[in-house]
Structure 1
Amino acid sequence: MHSLEMLLVVARDAAPWLEYNYEEVVKKYREKRRVRKLRAPRRDKGKKRKRQSDSDSDSPAYYSDPDSQSSGGDVSSVDTSGTDYSSSSDGQCDTSSEESSDAE
């Protein structure tokens, strides 16, 4: 128990935070933070943004033009005339398996 008491005494003497004026520390911190907020942004950040916007202009127009985007309900412009479901390979496989089961 004697060593524990000595440890507490030494720890109390070595604790510098007991001497701090917390109000002053908080005031300095807030002042530094306010200065950071008022500081102008780095110039190269704007250049990076411009590069990204240039690469966006390379994308197709239907992504960037809100007027040309469809609401999703209008499918009249979709061409389905080239699709023939009766001649698909999946349909042929299904019919051949049905015929073989009838033969048994």
Structure 2
Amino acid sequence: MNMHNCTVARSVDLSVRETSDNYRAELFRMGLYRVVVCRHGLQWVLQKQRFKISVLGAAWRNLGYCTTKTALIRLQQAHNAPLHPCMDALPARFACEVRQ
């Protein structure tokens, strides 16, 4: 996926936990919201940051899982999440990566 100028600041030690603040498959953030790829690589996940921040960073709560960009936009609108400019770079449907 070509995200053009849409980049996400990443820490050196990336996590495999979807709800971690430094989750390795984060695509982009929009304030208290972010979009990540689920840990199995099957779909996008819209998450909202929890208010409690620990020494490990913020924790994130899953709001919904989507396999189409239309559904992801609808989910963002339902939660009043701002739309990130990088949404345009997402394909119409999530393309699953088969891992061997």
Q: How high is the TM-score relative to the length of structure 2?
A: 0.16
Normalized per residue, the structure richer in helix is: 1
Q: Which has the larger radius of gyration?
A: 1
